[in-house]
Amino acid sequence: MKKIIFFDVQDYEVEFLTSACHGKFEFEIVKESLNDLYDLTEPQKQAEIISCFTTSRVTKSILEKFRNLKLIALRSVGFNHIDIDYCKEKGIYVENTPNYGNMTVAEFAFALLLDVTRKVTFSFDDLKKALINPLKTTGVELFGKTIGIVGLGAIGAEMARISHGVGLKILGFDIKERADLKEKFCVEYTDFETLVRCSDFISLHSPLTKDNYHLFNKDIFEMMKPSAFIINTARGELIDTQALYNALADKKIAGAGLDVLESEETLTDPDFLVDIGRMTTQSLQKTVLNNSLLKLDNVIITPHIAYDTHEAINRILNTAIENISAFEEGKIQNNVY
């Protein structure tokens, strides 16, 4: 019976994981994230399977401590928090949970779009302070305008469905064009620069790769309409934070709705407050910029919760257990490399 360790476990996950694993696996539930602050015990170092969420930072130095590791069963789609090169070298499979939150994330992205364009949170904060000024809360309509969707995979396709339903014209940018999206939702595929220049709203739904790091930078923000809004529920590193801050502060674009940030873990992971020495110079710089973004009145920022619905979490847990069970039977599914 293989030993499995589940890291990053929330209270609401405990019952499901216990029930799913009881009698099938030797398992351990750990609420803490797996990172260089977590002190692995000797029995834990013998684990053949570990499972974690994106809040873990699984580096080579951490992976080297596991002597028998054969599988990392992610409870997420993203895997940029794992040292994939090391896993390839050592033959450690890394399996994710695809398609668990297509509707969930797309709905949240649209919620951010509505929030920032209609100044919902901004108005609520003012109301609590008894500051009522309609001139400060004037928003813009979505109907008839153009949304550019960068990345039209499963989540981007759902964003196209929602956008089409409220009367938005849709421009799309992706490596592959999908005929069904053209037919059902009138998606017009175009090149990246045209999308940037012509969109009133831009929503990011691409995975992070070496090729699209800082896809949105100073030059790209200067191409955007000054009335445009950008929404990011994908990965923070798709956007150059310094360039975004300058564009927002200087009103070169109208606003942003962000569920992800560069170095976001320094804002949300309490371990960084326990040992601030873990921060690199770069992460400190990003943290200062992220805090500055929080002070702008044309930005709404949430702590990476676009995935977080009861339905999506159940799908994540089910897929993770299915991946582990299949692996036990010698089957590899949802491997990311």
User: Domain residue spans in the chain?
Assistant: 3-100+310-328, 102-301
* Predicted confidence (pLDDT) per residue in 281-328, tens digit: 887 888 899 999 999 999 999 999 999 999 999 999 999 999 999 999
Q: Answer whether 3-100+310-328 and 102-301 agree in fold.
A: yes
Strand partners, 150: 173, 204
Instruction: Name residue 19's amino acid.
Output: S
Q: Which of 237, 262, 264, 265 is catalytic?
A: 264
Average pLDDT over residues 230-253: 97
CB 260 within 8 Å of CB 233: yes
Average pLDDT over residues 149-162: 97
Residue 156: CB partners within 8 Å, gap ≥ 6?
106, 149, 150, 172, 174, 203, 205, 206
CA distance readout (Å), 186 to 51, 82, 177, 178, 285 = 40, 37, 12, 11, 42
Q: What is the pLDDT of residue 271?
A: 61
**Parallel, antiparallel or unpaired: strands 169-173 and 3-6:** unpaired
Residue 70 has pLDDT above 90, yes or no: yes
Q: Which of 57, 178, 205, 304 is catalytic?
A: 304
CB 261 within 8 Å of CB 230: no
Long-range CB contact pairs, 170-178, < 8 A, 24+: 170/146, 171/146, 171/147, 171/195, 171/198, 171/199, 172/148, 173/148, 173/149, 174/150, 178/152
Q: Which of 13, 235, 237, 315 is catalytic?
A: 235
Fold of 102-301: Rossmann fold (3.40.50)
CB 242 within 8 Å of CB 286: no
Q: What is the four-CA torsion angle of 55, 57, 63, 64, rounded to 10 degrees?
A: -140
Distance CA 187, CA 152 (A): 10
Q: What is the mean pLDDT of the chain?
A: 94
Fold of 3-100+310-328: Rossmann fold (3.40.50)
Q: What is the pLDDT of residue 37?
A: 80
Residue 157 has pLDDT above 70, yes or no: yes
* Predicted confidence (pLDDT) per residue in 6-46, tens digit: 999 999 999 999 999 998 899 999 999 998 889 999 999 99
Residue 129 has pLDDT above 80, yes or no: yes
Distance CA 30, CA 9 (A): 6
Residue 276 has pLDDT above 80, yes or no: no
Percent of the chain surpassing pLDDT 70 = 96
Burial of 261 (0-12, 13-18, 19+ CB in 10 A): buried
Catalytic residue check, 264 = yes
